[in-house]
Amino acid sequence: MVAAGLFEDQRYELIDGELIDKMGQNPPHASTIRRSGNALGSWFGFERVQAQLPIEAGVPDRERSLPEPDLAVLRESKPDYDWRHPRGDEVLLVLEVGDTTAQFDLQRKATLYARAGVPEYWVLDLPRRLLVIHRQTDGNQYKLVQIFSEDEIVSAEGRSEAIRVRELLPVPSE
C-alpha cells in the first residue's frame, strides 16, 4: 500500500498490525525531541542518534510492527543501514515523547521494545513532567521500571554523563 502511494504525505507507524496516525507535533513535543536529541548526541555522538526513523521489531512482532521512535541511539553506525533498518538489539536506547500518547508509549510500546531486545527505553511523560526509564528486558517485558521527577538527575546505563530531567522537558507555560 505504501509503494502504491496510498499513504503519500501521511505519517503512520505500524504497531501490532494497526496503522497509528502520527499526528503533527505540537511545539512542546518538538522541543522535547530537540532537547533530548542534543543530550543524547553529546553523550553518544550525533551520528549514532536517529530521530523518528524505523527500527525493526523483534521476531514475534516483525510482521505486524515497524515502530518509529522519537529518538534511538544506535550501538554503532553501520553501512548495513543503507539497505535495512536497525534491529532492536542494535539499539542502545529508545526515547519516546508522550504528550497525548503517554499511556500507549508506557504500555504497548514498552512491550514491543522489550520484545525487540532494546536494553533501555525512556518515556518522557509531558503532562506529568516525568521520565520513566525501563531497563533489564527479559525478552517480553522490562523488569526494572523507574520514575524520575523533573528535579532528579538521570543518565543512560553505563554512562557517566548525566542530566536533570527538567533540562529535557519544555519550559512550563505560565
pLDDT at 162: 96
Please give the pLDDT value at position 147: 98
pTM of the predicted structure, to 2 decimals: 0.85
Query: How far is residue 41 CA from its own chain's centroid?
Result: 14
| Alpha helices per DSSP H over 45-159 | 102-104, 110-116
163-164/91-98 β-pairing: unpaired
Per residue in 87-106, pLDDT tens?
999 999 999 999 887 888 89
Mean pLDDT of 113-126: 96
**Res 166 pLDDT > 50:** yes
Element (H, E) at 146: strand 142-149
What domains are there in the chain, each with its CATH number? 12-167 (3.90.1570.10)
Residues 6+ away with beta carbon under 8 Å from 24: none
**Rounded CA separation 62/70 (Å):** 19
Task: Read off the pLDDT band of 9 (50, 70, 90).
Answer: very low
Q: CB-side exposure of 31: number of CA atoms within 13 Å?
A: 11
Instruction: Supply the DSSP symbol for 87.
Output: B
